[in-house]
């Protein structure tokens, strides 16, 4: 459960960072699915490595 919570935290922080960049640059940010899905997997992998 700790890994899931930490992974979700990483994803939330990433989304906030992308939203911040979109506000700064005054546009929209489009991330295709074939890039988004590996990023989500990477966030949970990083969270699992952190808990070990």
* pLDDT, tens only, 1-44: 678 888 888 899 988 998 888 888 888 778 788 888 898 888 88
Supply the pLDDT for residue 33.
85
Supply the pLDDT for residue 52.
63
Supply the pLDDT for residue 32.
84
Supply the pLDDT for residue 2.
79
Residue 50: pLDDT over 80: no
What is d(CA 7, CA 45) in angstroms, rounded to the nearest whole number? 8
Quickly count: other Cβ atoms within 10 Å of residue 10's Cβ: 19
Surface-to-core class of residue 45, CB atoms within 10 Å of its CB (0-12 exposed, 13-18 middle, 19+ buried): middle
Supply the pLDDT for residue 4.
85
CB 50 within 8 A of CB 9: no
Instruction: Show the tokens assigned to 42.
Output: 């990477």
């Amino acid at each position: 459960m700790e890994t899931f919570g930490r992974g979700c935290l990483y994803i939330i922080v990433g989304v906030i960072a992308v939203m911040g960049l979109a506000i700064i640059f005054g546009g929209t940010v489009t991330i295709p699915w074939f890039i988004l899905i590996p990023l989500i997997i990477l966030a949970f992998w990083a969270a699992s490595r952190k808990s070990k």
